[in-house]
Amino acid sequence: MSDPQTVSTAVAKLYDTYPFPPEPLLDEPPPGYNWRWNWLTAYSFCTGQKPEKQTIRILDAGCGTGVGTEYLVHLNPDAQVVGIDLSAGALTIAKERCQRSGADRVEFHHLSLFDVDQLAGEFDLINCVGVLHHTSDPIRGIQALANKLAIGGLMHIFVYAELGRWEIKLMQEAIALLQGNQRGDYRDGVNVGRQIFAALPETNRLVQREKERWSMENHRDENFADMYVHPQEIDYTIAMLFDLIDASGLEFLGFSNPQNWQLEALLGKQPELMERAKPLSDRQRYRLIELLNPSAVTHYEFFLGCSPLPKSDWASDQALLQAIPDRNPCMEGWESHHVFNQDYQLIHLSQAEFEFLQACDANDKRQTIQDILTNLSLNQVRTLIAQQLIILTPGDH
């Protein structure tokens, strides 16, 4: 399937049949957070510093039933949000979802990625999660989005990875073979897929992978259909991924799940191998990681930026002392000594760290780190930065 209109029609039919994601509608803001959808934390992750403005425009490109859109509105109280999707059925749910939870700074348009130029103006943050790999031409899609990204803006993208979805691809093909000329009947496809899993022995690799990785979400037909009977899917390797990124003309700012891309976790027990890996480029290291740990790389999630963007690493003591700190807004469990950071990792704060974060939280007078630093060293402050507990604004120095 390669004709763009044929692909778009088939994809829209799938999501009209099984609106996705199938999260329940709530009469209150959604629980928790995803820091990648919070402008302050995403910008800080990409640049090392707090953005100068918070009154921004956000585009949720391929918003589906509005699960991400709803978060984008609630996590960015000064932003105007636009959602687009090619499924009219999904958009109907998205509108109801946002209306019910009070996400009132949003407008929706029935558009594909390829028609995003019909929207007025540019966007400071573009969210495109789980969409490009379902289009007929991802390069054309990412270029269309890049043309709508403002200078200094960020784009967050999520696409599938080939190696970690090997068993999924096999099941997709098996279902298609058994459907025959009924392919495109997505309810039949779900039924066939569930029968296959029920028939296969427990020791079957496809069954084992489904149970260990996907079954919790796939008990819902919407998720099962999205995974196993989708009419259009392109899965990526690192080389393919960076071809896509390079075609966008934007700057690669890093994976938004960097803990998954640490070679030390795989080869750290063998210093000689780590030494051999030193001459590798970043892209070669990423390829090595996915080769060594393929089942863990089911997708790529990453940020791109429209240069120029500032970069602060806070290696200079003087720059760090003059920086103005704020507590990271994506934090669970505050105000206590035991909090979850933006990645929901448990952090145990010492009394000195706790008091420092309290000062950051109450920093209405925009005091610098030098002003409020008492019982912590600068290296301890850098640890708080690394744990994503504070966000910094460069001061005058």
- For 104-117, how does the pLDDT look when each residue is reduced to its tens digit (9 = 90+)? 999 999 999 999 99
* 44 and 391 Cβ atoms separated by less than 8 Å: yes
* DSSP structure string for 168-218: HHHHHHHHHHHHGGGTT-HHHHHHHHHHHHHHS-TT-HHHHHIIIIIHHHH
pLDDT, one tens digit per residue, over 31-67 is: 999 999 999 999 999 999 999 999 999 999 999 999 9
Mean pLDDT, residues 162-172 taken together: 98
- pLDDT value, residue 1: 52
Reported pTM: 0.96
Give the number of C-alpha atoms closer than 13 A to the C-alpha of residue 143, restricted to the C-beta side: 8
- pLDDT value, residue 329: 95
Mean pLDDT, residues 332-343 taken together: 96
Mean pLDDT, residues 330-350 taken together: 96
pLDDT, one tens digit per residue, over 371-392 is: 999 889 999 999 999 999 999 9
**Range from 13-17, 18-22, 169-173, 359-363 carrying the lowest mean pLDDT:** 359-363
pLDDT, one tens digit per residue, over 68-91 is: 999 999 999 999 999 999 999 999
Give the number of C-alpha atoms closer than 13 A to the C-alpha of residue 376, restricted to the C-beta side: 23
Quick one: which H or E segment has residue 155?
strand 149-160
Q: Coil, helix or strand for 348?
A: strand
Residues 6+ apart with CB under 8 A from 159: 130, 132, 133, 138, 234, 236, 241, 244, 299, 300
Omega into 310 within 30° of 0, i.e. cis?
no
Which tokens belong to 341? Answer: 């950071």
pLDDT, one tens digit per residue, over 202-259 is: 999 999 999 999 999 999 999 999 999 999 999 999 999 999 999 999 999 999 999 9
Q: What percent of the chain has pLDDT over 70?
A: 99
- pLDDT value, residue 364: 82
Which tokens belong to 380? Answer: 């301890």
Averaged pLDDT of the chain? 97
Q: What angle do CA 244, 245, 249 make, to 5 degrees?
A: 115
Return the exposure string of 286-323: e unless at least 16 CB atoms fall within 10 Å of the residue's CB, then b: bbbbbeebeeebbbbebbbbbeebeebebeeeebbbbb
- pLDDT value, residue 227: 98
pLDDT, one tens digit per residue, over 290-327 is: 999 999 999 999 999 999 999 999 999 999 999 999 99
Give the homologous superfamily in CATH for domain 4-162+235-305: Vaccinia Virus protein VP39 (3.40.50.150)
Residue 223: how many CB atoms within 10 A of its CB? Answer: 18
pLDDT, one tens digit per residue, over 185-203 is: 999 999 999 999 999 999 9
Mean pLDDT, residues 9-37 taken together: 97
Which tokens belong to 244? Answer: 């896509």
- pLDDT value, residue 2: 64
Give the number of C-alpha atoms closer than 13 A to the C-alpha of residue 135, restricted to the C-beta side: 23
- pLDDT value, residue 78: 97
What are the domain boundaries of the chain?
4-162+235-305, 163-228, 317-393
- Distances 312 to 157, 247, 298, 395 between C-alpha atoms, Å: 23, 27, 31, 12
Residue 396 has pLDDT above 80, yes or no: no
